[in-house]
Amino acid sequence: EGAEAARLVVRALHRAQRVLHVAEDELGTLDAIAGDGDHGRGMCRGVDAAVEAADEALAAGADAPSVLRRAAERWADRAGGTSGALWGVGLLALADRLPADEALAGAHVVDGVRAARDEVCAVGGARAGDKTLVDALDPAAETLAAAHRNGAAAPDAWRAAVRAARDGADRTKDITARRGRSRVLGDKSLGVADPGATSLALLLAEVGDALGV
């Protein structure tokens, strides 16, 4: 069962890789409006490195938390940029909540996503409303936890979280950036979704059924 959890993590990372490559140009374009245009490229570099590390770790027989830890470290290492560092931090927090020798369950993922949110906020200093990826991650984490608490079936809980992430990313259009690179460009970002929130919502939408929880 532990080995199955590790395989699910690897499968989810492969899905993330696919969707980020599809969205690479679009994310770069968003980031070019009020940032430096490298978000698509950075996410692709990060996830490519993470997938490579995860494949290696799985082949070496690592358990789910170790697989994801290796992936997170490599992501942060290779991605560059603020988002790369924060994805590394977030995935490390998630990894700490995964089971080493039992099946992956909804509760692990709920706790893990919330822990990732907490760490990303602690390290990056952003809060909901600052026009960052936190605007997608925070509602996703809270919605997932609430759905789980209310006894929703796992796929339904995940779908609700994905909707919350998308809505959150969408709402960043109405905000002027207060954190990250784009804050210095202020109103230039008004009307445009935050690239980090956009990629986070895309990624969550894609990995749900790979995790099967």
83 versus 143: smaller Cβ distance to ligand ADP: 83
Integer Cα distance of 73 and 89 in angstroms: 8
Integer Cα distance of 139 and 145 in angstroms: 10
- Amino acid symbol at 204: L
> What is the DSSP track for 184-197?
GGGGGGTTS--HHH
Smallest separation (angstroms) from ligand ADP to the CB of 44: 10
Q: Which residue is nearest to ligand ADP (CB)?
A: 196
Helix (H) or strand (E) holding 151: none
7 versus 181: smaller Cβ distance to Mg ion: 181
Query: How far, in Å, are 105, 154, 163, 178, 185 from residue 64 at the CA level?
Result: 12, 19, 27, 36, 41
Which residue is associated with the tokens 């490229």? 41
Smallest separation (angstroms) from ligand ADP to the CB of 8: 26
Smallest separation (angstroms) from ligand ADP to the CB of 32: 10
Smallest separation (angstroms) from ligand ADP to the CB of 130: 7
- Amino acid symbol at 47: V
DSSP code at position 190: T
- Residues lying near ligand ADP in the complex (CB under 6 A) are found at 31, 35-36, 38-39, 42, 81-83, 86, 124-126, 132-134, 179-181, 194-197
Integer Cα distance of 181 and 141 in angstroms: 25
Smallest separation (angstroms) from Mg ion to the CB of 53: 22
111 versus 130: smaller Cβ distance to Mg ion: 130
194 binding Mg ion? (CB under 5 A) = no
User: Which partner, ligand ADP, Mg ion, none, binds residue 195 by CB below 5 to 8 Å per kind?
Assistant: ligand ADP
Judged by the rule CB under 5 A, the positions of this chain that interact with Mg ion are: 31, 35-36, 38-39, 81
